[in-house]
Amino acid sequence: MAKRLVVGITGSSGAILGIRALEALRKAGVETHLVITDTARKVIADETGWKPEDVERLATKAYHIDDFFAPIASGSFKTDGMIVIPCSMKTLAGIATGYASNLLIRAADVMLKEGRKLVLVAREMPLSLVHIRNMEAATQAGAVILPPMMTFYSKPSGLEDMVSHVIGKALDQFGIETGYKRWHD
């Protein structure tokens, strides 16, 4: 059966990561359930020139950030996990403390309570102790913190190669192959 993933895009820098992740998941035949925060809508337009509605069209289904009646708000809706890409420090804080103030954080909360895979592509620089403590709490609760680190060993020729590397590493967490350049490939 095809995989089904929840995808969250927040208003941290790196909106292109969320877009490329959705494209890769579509190519891999994964069913995607997308929720984009209000700030992410603005950052998507500012950083990439994409319209948020066009990003939503990359997903199988997209939900409004305040729609707590959406299927992904419930643990009874079966999924193979969730990726938040990119993940802001604000959303990380909500996930780490269980303060489910919007649908994205509620969906992440569901992943943790159901023991499902939750990957947070947490992006900020530098990190405060607050951020690090929230990462620790989220990790202890079962999430995987996967920051969009720069890659060097793959000898990237530019930003798109770096982005592909991050997407490849992130989707490896779900056993989804994207064909990115691995060490010794």
Residues that bind ligand FMN (CB under 6 A): 10-13, 37, 39-40, 43, 46, 88-91, 123-124
Question: Which of these, 29, 27, 35, lies nearest to 9 by C-alpha position?
Answer: 35
Q: Which of 85/176 has CB closer to ligand FMN?
A: 85
CB of residue 97 to ligand FMN, shortest distance in Å = 13
Nearer to ligand FMN, 8 or 168 (CB): 8
Cα(54)–Cα(41) distance, integer angstroms: 11
Q: Cβ-closest residue to ligand FMN?
A: 11
**Closer to ligand FMN by Cβ: residue 89 or 171:** 89
CB of 5 closer than 8 Å to CB of 30: yes
Query: How many angstroms separate the CA atoms of 75 and 71, rounded?
Result: 9
Q: What residue type is assigned to position 122 of the chain?
A: A
Smallest distance, Å, CB 19 to ligand FMN? 15
Tell me the closest approach of the beta carbon of residue 20 to ligand FMN, in angstroms: 17
Amino acid of residue 173: Q
Question: 18 or 178: whose CB is closer to ligand FMN?
Answer: 18
Long-range contacts of 127-130 (CB under 8 A, 24+ apart): 130/89, 130/93
CB of 93 to ligand FMN, least distance (A): 9
